Chain A
């Protein structure tokens, strides 16, 4: 009897020791997160954006002292390409990711989408905000998710989500035909959207070999392969041309 108890005690001790080792393992170099950062440039002369005629809705037109312009290719001062979605498209060993608790926010402002390209995780809450005085309808036209289409007057709260990965869901407002945007939905958290500097960073990557894809709504997609070891920060640059 006594020996049975001591055996159980030893088991519990061993278990504790193992879990301590496991916890310590989190901080050990073997599991230190890695990252991939870089820049997306537009090669050549930046295309001139077209003017948007918002005169059909005076509530939109009056919000712009200078005419609003199209956002399908937005190039920054130093050639950085904005609104490019950078993400891990292959190589992840884990496939079970919980959506973050904080919602992603898509704003309709000046009768345009802000941001023009939004990325979020599957089943992450999406708060749609109408900051304009006019009424919008927000209408995603997905191919791998449920299609919905909601009218949203100024100030009306609207919460939605997308269940499945899709890069990217086109979003439009039928009331204002010039309003176009994209929502990229991922099943993992390793994605970023570039701003006008073209820079991006994929943080907290587990060490491994990955395929990284850069997607732009008009210029298409490019992929590069990268291998990161523990704690390593790799640099990866992309260049798009028309």
Chain B
């Protein structure tokens, strides 16, 4: 009889653990584990004014912001290391929170403790059931960058032409392509293509590796598509070198070929 009681008891315990597990949303970045409850408190303190109580991006400040705050209920994120259409990794969200999103209302949240940023991620993930139902895709691989050269930049310019990058970013890379005026984000708000001559920081990270990754993942929720199968690895590096050459901050500004 005793073994039966023990069995029932342990079964109940397992059930309890299991149920407890499915209810709390988790996040993991490196060795840190996020806590949804702590994240909720932080969210109410720092994020709610823009992203809103329900995480739908309709906080009190939202009407005054352009671009609009992210709607977490859609679970669509610009800056990811995962393929287009995939959920981001926790580390992707961590990077965005830490870095901030340049040219938007989203500041860098580096003043928060690392643990706090990871807690926030656990809470942000509760706004969409997608984080319970789906798994993020495998992060893209970024091979070592070959050195930039006049030849690489020239090839990059050709890829920029053949891939129709110019239809949004313009033949001179200033973001005034023929399709630029018609572009909207997936919420229907007008969105401006990046001006590569500005030397301004990119939304999803400033390094060449970030640019390379953006070409594979695309910026979901915006018109910027994924070039995952459309370009080879070499072509992607060539495009990165070409785009760098368009800005006076680039290392090869003097070589900038302006394609017509």
Question: Could you list which residues of chain A lie within 8 angstroms of chain B, going by C-beta atoms?
Answer: 56-57, 134-139, 141, 146-153, 156-158, 160, 174-177
Chain A residues with Cβ below 8 Å from B105 are none
Query: Which of B85, B178, B182, B225 counts the most A-chain CB atoms under 10 A from its CB?
Result: B225
- What's the Cα separation between A57 and B223 when bound, in Å? 18
- Contact residue range for chain B? 20 to 34
Q: Which B124-144 residues have C-beta < 8 A from chain A?
A: 130, 134
**CB pair B164 A135 closer than 8 Å:** yes
Chain B residues with Cβ below 8 Å from A157 are 229
B163 on interface, CB distance cutoff 8 Å: yes
- What's the Cα separation between A176 and B180 when bound, in Å? 10
B98 on interface, CB distance cutoff 8 Å: no
**CB pair B223 A151 closer than 8 Å:** no
Q: Mark B62-102, 1 if CB is under 8 A from A, else 0.
A: 00000000000010100000001110000000000000000
**CB pair B85 A177 closer than 8 Å:** no
Chain B residues with Cβ below 8 Å from A148 are 84-85, 218, 220, 226
Tell me the minimal C-beta distance from A125 to chain B in angstroms. Answer: 15
Tell me the minimal C-beta distance from A146 to chain B in angstroms. Answer: 5
Q: Which B151-180 residues have C-beta < 8 A from chain A?
A: 162-164, 167-168, 178-179
Q: Give the residue of A134, A150, A174, A177 whose beta carbon is less than 8 angstroms from that of B226.
A: A150
- What's the Cα separation between A146 and B74 when bound, in Å? 9
Q: Specify the main secondary structure of chain A where it touches its partner.
A: loop
By beta carbon, the residue of chain B nearest A150 is B226
**CB pair B182 A177 closer than 8 Å:** yes
B55 on interface, CB distance cutoff 8 Å: no
- What's the Cα separation between A176 and B183 when bound, in Å? 10
Tell me the minimal C-beta distance from A29 to chain B in angstroms. Answer: 42
Chain A residues with Cβ below 8 Å from B134 are 146
**CB pair A153 B223 closer than 8 Å:** no
Chain B residues with Cβ below 8 Å from A175 are 164, 167-168, 179
B186 on interface, CB distance cutoff 8 Å: yes
- What's the Cα separation between A174 and B183 when bound, in Å? 7
Query: Which of A147, A153, A174 counts the most B-chain CB atoms under 10 A from its CB?
Result: A174
Q: Contacts A134-B164, A156-B229, A175-B164; is A147 near B179 (CB within 8 Å)?
A: no
Chain B residues with Cβ below 8 Å from A134 are 164
**CB pair A152 B230 closer than 8 Å:** yes
Chain A residues with Cβ below 8 Å from B164 are 57, 134-137, 175
Tell me the minimal C-beta distance from B35 to chain A in angstroms. Answer: 27
Q: Contacts A57-B164, A141-B186, A156-B230; is A149 near B179 (CB within 8 Å)?
A: no
Chain B residues with Cβ below 8 Å from A146 are 76, 85-86, 130, 134
- What's the Cα separation between A63 and B130 when bound, in Å? 42
**CB pair A153 B230 closer than 8 Å:** yes
Chain A residues with Cβ below 8 Å from B162 are 135, 153
Tell me the minimal C-beta distance from A139 to chain B in angstroms. Answer: 6
Chain A residues with Cβ below 8 Å from B76 are 146-147
Tell me the minimal C-beta distance from A212 to chain B in angstroms. Answer: 31
B224 on interface, CB distance cutoff 8 Å: yes
- What's the Cα separation between A21 and B182 when bound, in Å? 63
Chain B residues with Cβ below 8 Å from A156 are 229-230
- What's the Cα separation between A136 and B162 when bound, in Å? 10
Q: Contacts A135-B162, A175-B179; is A149 near B224 (CB within 8 Å)?
A: yes
- What's the Cα separation between A174 and B164 when bound, in Å? 10
**CB pair A56 B84 closer than 8 Å:** no
B228 on interface, CB distance cutoff 8 Å: yes
- What's the Cα separation between A152 and B231 when bound, in Å? 10
Tell me the minimal C-beta distance from A142 to chain B in angstroms. Answer: 9
**CB pair A149 B226 closer than 8 Å:** yes
* 13 examples of A-B residue contacts, CB within 8 angstroms: A146-B130, A147-B221, A149-B84, A149-B223, A150-B228, A150-B230, A151-B230, A153-B163, A156-B229, A157-B229, A175-B164, A175-B168, A175-B179
Q: Contacts A139-B223, A174-B168, A175-B168; is A151 near B163 (CB within 8 Å)?
A: yes
**CB pair B229 A147 closer than 8 Å:** no
B227 on interface, CB distance cutoff 8 Å: yes
- What's the Cα separation between A56 and B221 when bound, in Å? 25
Q: Contacts A57-B167, A153-B162; is A158 near B229 (CB within 8 Å)?
A: yes
By beta carbon, the residue of chain A nearest B223 is A174
**CB pair B84 A177 closer than 8 Å:** no
Q: Contacts A146-B86, A174-B225; is A135 near B178 (CB within 8 Å)?
A: no
Chain B residues with Cβ below 8 Å from A176 are 167, 179
Chain B residues with Cβ below 8 Å from A151 are 163, 218, 225-227, 230-231
